Amino acid sequence: MKKIQYVIMMFLAGFWLSSCTGPVSETTKTEDAPVIGKPDLVLNGDRMTPEALWAFGRVSGHEVSPDGKTILYGVSYYSIEQNKGNRELYVVDVDGGTGTRITNSAKSEFNELWRPDGKKIGFLSSESGSVQLWEMNPDGSDRTMITDIEGGITGFKYAPDQSKILYTKEIPIPNKFERLYEGLPKASGKLMDDLMYRHWDHWVENYSHVFYADYDGNKISNEKDIMEGEPYDSPLSPFGGMEQINWSPDSKTIAYTSKKLTGKAATLSTNSDIYLYNLENGETTNISEGMMGFDVAPVFSPDGTYIAWESMERDGYESDKNRLMVMNLITGMKTYVTKNLDQNAGNLCWVDDSQSILFTSDWHSRTHIYQYFIEDGNILQITEGMYDYKSVAQAGDRLVAIRNSIAEPAEIYAVELGNGDVKQLTYTNQELVDQLTMGKVEERWMKTFDGEDMLTLIIYPPHFDPAKKYPALLYCKGGPQGPLSQNFHYRWNYELMAANDYIIVAPNRRGVSGFGQAWQEQISGDYHGKSMQDYLTAIDEMAKEPYIDENRLGAVGASAGGYAVYYLAGIHEGRFKAFIAHDGIFNEEAQYLETEEMWFENWDKGGPFWEKDNKVAQEAYAHSPHKLVQNWDTPILIIHGGLDYRVVFTQGMTAFNAAVLRDVPAEFLFFPDENHWVLQPQNAILWQRTFFNWLDRWLK
């Protein structure tokens, strides 16, 4: 999949949120396809259904106008019938009120930004056939195409003084074997001689480069590639966005993120760096040189004195602590400002006075907004409650943030800087939420087998009756690192599972972030040990409850959670009556040579399986789930995507084949056009229907 398509798809999926940074015009309408709007609601009484889940509008972005009075954002709606989504732009006053839709197009608008003078809104759209930069008035009128760049662009940002625009564009990688293809225009073969030839869900055939151009308010000119001739990406593929590239306040410098490695070296290393490109002399400086981990997302302070970024210390470890680094651009001094905070920092945003930085951080299954003060080094938690704050921006004396919870889809909120008071600003899904009864979410601490304290989330069915007996599902988190928090997911949705009369048990087992770096690191090299015992602790503890039927327990999970399901299938000793594994790792030795990000395998498995003297690696591979298949005796549903290049579909196929050969009841749901996720509406509905059909068959 090409990156332009990927960018659009991820925006529609609602995965990308921006960080710091009227009437509908007739000119926005197009005739090539019907505009997708709010879909009809399909409910089962007052309970969530798969169709209802796909009826939610997915809110993303919160760009504050230069005068601090208006928020620009997007909402994606999906049509199951058309099997696609559409994202439209809205504005709402920072004091709240009814959001006003300002676009009405069959082509999605994304990467929306206020022009620095506040008189125009810039955005990307493929209305012209390729993705280009457009502008319109703040009420949606006078829609005008600004760029006409061959092949389109993937992102953009205005210079603060509005004299220039930077943008990102795909550059084809020269085919070193081109002579072999002469006279063979229909040849489909891909010839390669190095690694990193495909990544996540696409074959690597392009680089993403950063360009800038002069801008006169109507068009751009004098385009320049600041990475000309370099075989590297910026932003980083496949998940990096425009948060990885920023202007300095004086519009004279572009800071960008890049991992300047190729081939085998790129597959083995996570070492990305922060580069400063000087527009006046054309020189590039690496300001994180010698910092060997993952350095991304540079943000200049408003006064230009500092630059902050997210930084990991160790090369090859993609789940290292995400540190907040600050560099004084005058003295060159770098400071690791969250050294005494055993938490991750992300979504950086400077406060207007350049004396503090806002960021988000997950802790104990919640993600909140924090503020670091340069003068005394103090860190203050601003928000609280059972929520995930996904991003943050400043609007005068208040903050603007996107927030969701397990029971609430994302909306935009205002947060008072002084006291943390919160006010909801958008109500995109209120009509739908009002018709649904959500299950209660409970936090329960448990003692693990080795005496540690573990937080487990319990989600109960709507109208829960403690006098009844319910089946329960153990949710096995993917990752294997990262947070298990208050996310409102559009596939693994806890409330949807609970609406089908299952009690959901979601433990923060070893490897989950938000409980200190030591807890998170205990899973590396030990997928099969402490984390598996943590899963069993959680389900065994809950099975003691009188309202849970210990004879109707299931386990479900994806990716590393799929690994967990495969492994539990070999060791559970009759606890579970049904399993579901999505995109899971089944054969660790095969996975090592099938995947593309070798740094991940080397860190989490300890190295390749052929290093016979490597005790950590040998221990990990000795406990590959496929070596326990002789113990499988419980029905299992296996799901996999054909475009998943992180965990290739043969992992799911071989697990299914093994189950059938063992005479274990099994089904295999294969999506040839999906990657590590399921993003198309009809495929997602099929996923949900198959999911619950399988569970209901064996647990009810």
> What are the residue numbers of the active site?
559, 644, 676
Nearest by Cα to 224 from 273, 275, 300, 169: 169
682 Ramachandran zone, left/alpha/beta (phi>0; psi -120 to 50) = alpha
Are 570 and 625 a contacting pair, CB within 8 Å? yes
Using only C-alpha atoms, what is the Rg of the chain?
A: 25
- End-to-end CA distance of the chain, in Å? 41
Nearest by Cα to 50 from 692, 695, 553: 692
Give, in degrees to the nearest 5, the angle at Cα 61 between 26 and 679. Answer: 90
Question: Could you tell me what percentage of the chain is helix, strand and coil, using 3-state DSSP and rounding each to the nearest 5?
Answer: 20, 30, 50
Beta bridge partners of 424: 413
Element (H, E) at 496: helix 494-499
**Strand 164-172 to strand 206-215: parallel, antiparallel, or no bridges (unpaired)?**
antiparallel
Beta bridge partners of 74: 60, 89
Query: Which 8-state DSSP code applies to residue 346?
Result: E
678-685 long-range contacts (CB < 8 A, ≥24 apart) are 678/491, 678/641, 679/9, 679/12, 679/13, 680/83, 680/84, 681/54, 681/78, 681/79, 681/80, 681/83, 681/84, 681/85, 682/80, 682/83, 684/50, 684/54, 684/490, 684/491, 685/50, 685/51, 685/54, 685/80
Integer Cα distance of 623 and 159 in angstroms: 53
Are 367 and 486 a contacting pair, CB within 8 Å? yes
Integer Cα distance of 622 and 609 in angstroms: 9
Integer Cα distance of 634 and 112 in angstroms: 50
Integer Cα distance of 94 and 398 in angstroms: 9
Query: Tell me, what amino acid is at 581?
Result: A
What phi and psi values does residue 641 have, to the nearest 5 degrees? Answer: -105, 140
Beta bridge partners of 457: 443, 506
User: Among all chains, which residue has been given the structure tokens 């081109």?
Assistant: 178
Integer Cα distance of 524 and 603 in angstroms: 7
Integer Cα distance of 272 and 320 in angstroms: 14
Are 96 and 425 a contacting pair, CB within 8 Å? yes
Structure tokens at 203: 């074959």
